[in-house]
Amino acid sequence: MLNLLSSIAKSAVVLALLAAPSQAGETPVVQATRTSTPPNIDGRLDDSVWHQAPTIADFFQREPIEGAPPTEQTEVRILFDDDHLYFALRCFDSEADRLVANQMRRDAELDENDNIQIILDPYNDRRGGFYFSTNPLGARQDLLLTDEGRTRNQAWDSVWQSRTRIDSLGWSAEVAIPFDQVRYPDSDQAVWGINIGRAIRRKNEEVFLVPPPQSYGFRGRYRTSRLAVLTGLGQLQSRPPLAVVPFLLSGTQRDFAADGSTEYDLDPGLDFKYGLTPSLTLDLSYKTDFAQVEADQEQINLTRFSLFFPEKRDFFLEGAGIFEFGERVERQGSGGRPPTLLFYSRRIGIEEGHNLPVLAGGKLTGRAGPYQIGTLRMTTQAMTFVDEEENQEGREDTILDTLHVAQTDFTVLRIKRDMLGRSNLGFIAIDKQPGSEANYNRTGGVDFTLSLLQAALNLRGFAAKTWTPQVEGRDRAGLLELDYRQGRFETRLNYLDMEEDFAPEVGFVPRTDIRRFKGSGRYRPRPDIGWIRMFSIGPRFTYLMDRGNTLQSRDFQFSAFVNLEIGDWFGARYRQRYELLDEAFEIRDEQEIPIGAYEFGSYSLNLFANSSRRLSGRASYEYGDFFNGTRQRISAETIWRYNARLELEGTYEFNHINLPNGAFNTHLFGHRFLYSFSPDMFVRGFLQSNSAQELVGGNFLFNYRYLPGSDLFIVYNQVWDTEGGLEQASRSLQLKVSYYWQR
């Protein structure tokens, strides 16, 4: 089968070379006007210089009626000088007192607010771009878009300005984006891709210069597949960035599970960014620090396999799109299984739940002609972790476990070659070198994307192999995936073939020795019913065998949801599963599910309340069989936005498992508060409890961006062990100050 995958991949490359990109309809053209007098960025739009630029007002709906005229008028003007690109945006609103704006913090999610969004594609190739958004309160969000906007990098942090103002006509915004914050090629007559959108949230209306098709789904607003053209910029010479960010970290920490002593730290560090070429950026980091990263959200694991946690560390998130290799990450909790990834950055600096200091690291990301390039090198410090049990006074503590981790070097090389249209061919090489040269793990692979019909039809795949000492053969894997979106229909098919000894230690692989078929389909009709916007109906399935073709797991689901005009969702799902256990499955301490074949099903109800409201949330209830017993699951999340500054959130998940050898319950609590003093200053607290892990954890963060790019962080973490009571497990307090300098 792996040979067949290789043949299909070669055929796909030939098709990509023969396929000519198609264009649908005329591409709108907008113009930027040079100015010698920069506007004052205050949100008022009263500078006379704005009258030099033509007004852009031809917007069209994406939601609710694709292609229809907007119900509210929007006007945009664009200026530029040697240093900045400027936007003046007037958002007229016939009910200005009903604007939805409940976020003030920088990098907050603005989807459920009234907002303006600007997408810039300086290469005008529709493969990605830079996303800037603001709302009536002046909150700023920026994203780096790759893979035509399918991948959104929230860690990308640009230094730009926006100011807004609310008045009787609606609201207005002025935006200044420095040219040196975006990558672009040298050009005598620069032509960029651009899209400008607006959300009128109380109507759930979205309008754009070029509306992304509704078939792109709910996140289609980020897509760069179809853009307008920005002209008038004339000759542009790129400005490779040079930025230096020194920081100082001071703190104290105590691990009560070890020797209980308190450690004090005072460590300087340095982050360095330099543009080697207009399109290639080098990032270097000494004593890379992640003090400000929020703790992982706890999960209840009732499966035999590892849980998947998303990356949250900025150094790895920035530019992460180029390093992606494997399956797309599905939203967990929706019935989707964890993905298969050849590179999973959480394998660097985290070992069995322990954080390892990163001594130094560097990465090079960007473009060289038609090539996308990413290289990464990181070194983690050797550490020893001791888990001790405290004994009575006068007796030495008992050592329960000791973990030795050698100093380890990680190296990644990723190259993708853009091909005709929006297709590409790439490869990846990954090396993990802990301790001696004889102890290594290496992964190599090639992948492709064939994109046709204006990205409505996509074929993807990869073939990969790992190298580990004393392991020969049975170490390959391959994937083929096809997805098609057109009109109200969407379908995806996926085949994964993985041999027994395929072991990418810097990747994420839920299980090996498998042949897996996976697919899904959705039909989203929009009926002519006043209070209903859309139905979403369809199945999804997973059929998994071992490589001897014995069925191991089967999962079939069918769901139906209703999307209301007011933005709420509700629906139901039926799920039928089969699991073959060739060894007993310990679902909790001293409680096992025996060897055997199990077929079981469940029903669930789901509700989502529009998060643009002051009080919003979601809830679900599931009941059904579970292996040789039953399971009842209740989950709920509520968010209360008292005003634009204060937000309170609570989450709860309850499981009642009833098995022949006994019943048990699990409880997962999460509580979060967020208070924004301004778009550049906030405080956040997070408390969570996991009965299955017998842990309670708390996290407190204060962040003040006192200058553009320069931050002050105060972080406090506390963990309690609830086994047999409530005892402190660890605590830490850290202060971090950084200063951003740019040439």
**The pLDDT of residue 264 is above 60:** yes
Pick 43 or 253 by higher pLDDT: 43
The pLDDT assigned to 25 comes to 55
The least confident of 280-289, 425-434, 502-511, 634-643 is 280-289
The pLDDT assigned to 396 comes to 54
**DSSP class per residue in 124-141:** -SSS-EEEEEE-TT--EE
Q: What is the model's pTM?
A: 0.81
Handedness of CA 67, 71, 73, 79 (dihedral sign): negative
| Coil/strand/helix, residue 195 | strand
The least confident of 285-299, 500-514, 619-633, 669-683 is 285-299
The pLDDT assigned to 91 comes to 98
Q: Are 430 and 411 in contact (CB under 8 A)?
A: yes
The pLDDT assigned to 404 comes to 83
The pLDDT assigned to 684 comes to 93
pLDDT band at 293 (very low <50, low <70, confident <90, very high): low
**The pLDDT of residue 303 is above 70:** no
The pLDDT assigned to 188 comes to 80
**The pLDDT of residue 15 is above 60:** no
**The pLDDT of residue 725 is above 80:** no
pLDDT for 368-398, tens place per residue? 888 999 999 999 988 887 766 555 554 555 5
The pLDDT assigned to 4 comes to 46
The pLDDT assigned to 80 comes to 95
**DSSP class per residue in 402-439:** EEEE--EEEEEEEEEEE-STT-EEEEEEEEEEESSTTS
The pLDDT assigned to 13 comes to 45
Answer CATH for 32-231 from 2.60.40.180, 2.40.50.100, 3.10.20.30, 2.60.40.1190: 2.60.40.1190
**DSSP class per residue in 638-670:** EEEESSSSEEEEEEEEEEEEEETTEEEEEEEEE
Kind and range of the H or E element at 179? Answer: none
The pLDDT assigned to 337 comes to 59
In sequence order, the β-bridge partners of residue 678 are 681
Question: Furthest-apart CA pair in the chain: how many Å?
Answer: 83
- Mean pLDDT of the region 6-29: 52
The pLDDT assigned to 296 comes to 56
The pLDDT assigned to 333 comes to 42
Pick 604 or 2 by higher pLDDT: 604
pLDDT for 320-370, tens place per residue? 788 999 987 655 444 445 688 999 888 888 877 677 888 889 999 988 888
pLDDT band at 182 (very low <50, low <70, confident <90, very high): confident
Distance between CA atoms of residues 352 and 187, nearest Å: 50
- Mean pLDDT of the region 557-585: 94
- Spell out the residues 6+ positions from residue 68 whose beta carbon is closer than 8 angstroms to its own: 60, 61
pLDDT band at 612 (very low <50, low <70, confident <90, very high): confident
pLDDT band at 301 (very low <50, low <70, confident <90, very high): low
